[in-house]
Amino acid sequence: HKKELQVAIDGPASAGKSTVAKIVAKNFNYIYVDTGAMYRSITYKAIQNNINLNDENKIVELLHKTKITFTPGNPVQHVFIDGEEVTDKIRSEKVTNNVSTVAALPLIRRELVKRQQEIAKDGGVIMDGRDIGTTVLPNADLKIFLIASVKERAERRYIENQKKGINVTLEELKKEIEVRDYKDSHRKVSPLKKAKDAIEIDTTSLSIEQVSDKISSLIKKRIQK
């Protein structure tokens, strides 16, 4: 009988987490869970409702009434808020620049972590985020921490934006990434941090295929144990 693992992939923005997580999930027929999309979704909805993004009680009240669901797909996983597709809307610059503020609110994290743990409880799951190995799945069978230089990550986002017709300079993207990295790793509740037992992979000069092959072979080893 093959064991269905819980795999945690953490790391800073544009380290390649979601791209490789989707490929690896497909290889093993596991569920892929993008926890960043959950933080983005509640941020998007709070903005839509004109709620002050520091008003924790109002946002958590909103979150309790909000259903966030995914439908699988590669390369794009579709995201829905109460049945409305928001896949592209949650990736806007406005959401990107405000999500770390909302993600720092302890009550928001408590609720989303609970939902993430529920999804992952039976294994067969690859979950990506910032605190999966440290907080959401502290007993995950495999923990990966992906990193890459800021320059490389800004360039990746730049190319992504060009494809979508979004015009933001490379300098601005670098700045955005640095600000978000700082906020994510300095917040009080479950900051971005490598778990003690996580395997770090620097993807700066690796291709998507090299990274996903590496992770897939680590999973195979764990399954055989």
Nearest in space to 198 (alpha carbons), one of 31, 6, 9, 14: 9
Residues 128, 18: contact at Cβ < 8 Å? yes
Q: Which stretch binds ligand CDP (CB under 6 A): 12-20, 54-62, 76-84, 164-172?
A: 12-20
Name the minimum Å distance from CB 81 to ligand CDP.
15
Give the β-pairing of 78-81 and 68-71: antiparallel
Query: What gap in Å lies between CA 105 and CA 111, rounded to an integer?
Result: 10
Smallest distance, ligand CDP to C-beta of residue 42, A: 10
Backbone conformation region of residue 80, classed left if phi is above 0, alpha if psi is from -120 to 50, else beta: beta
Distance, in Å, from the CA atom of 208 to the CA atom of 136, rounded to the nearest integer, reads 25
Residues 20-79 close enough to bind ligand CDP by CB under 6 A: 35-36, 39-40
In this structure, are residues 70 and 77 in contact, taking their beta carbons and an 8 Å threshold? yes
- Give yes or no for residue 133 binding ligand CDP (CB under 6 A): no
Ligand-binding site membership of 16 (annotated): yes
Output the smallest distance, CB 123 to ligand CDP, in A: 19
Residues in 99-118 at the binding interface with ligand CDP, rule: CB under 6 A: 99-100, 103
Whether 12 has a binding-site annotation, put simply, is: yes
Question: How far apart (Å, rounded) are the C-alpha atoms in residues 182 and 12?
Answer: 10
Nearest to 132 by CA among 115, 149, 150, 107: 115
State which of residues 5, 6, 7, 19 lies at the interface with ligand CDP (CB under 6 A): 19
Among positions 45, 89, 130, 143, the unique one binding ligand CDP when judged by CB under 6 A:
130
Residue closer to ligand CDP (CB basis): 39 or 44: 39
Chain positions contacting ligand CDP, by CB under 6 A: 11, 13-19, 35-36, 39-40, 99-100, 103, 129-131, 156, 160, 180, 184, 203, 206-208, 211
Binding residues for ATP, by number, are: 11-19
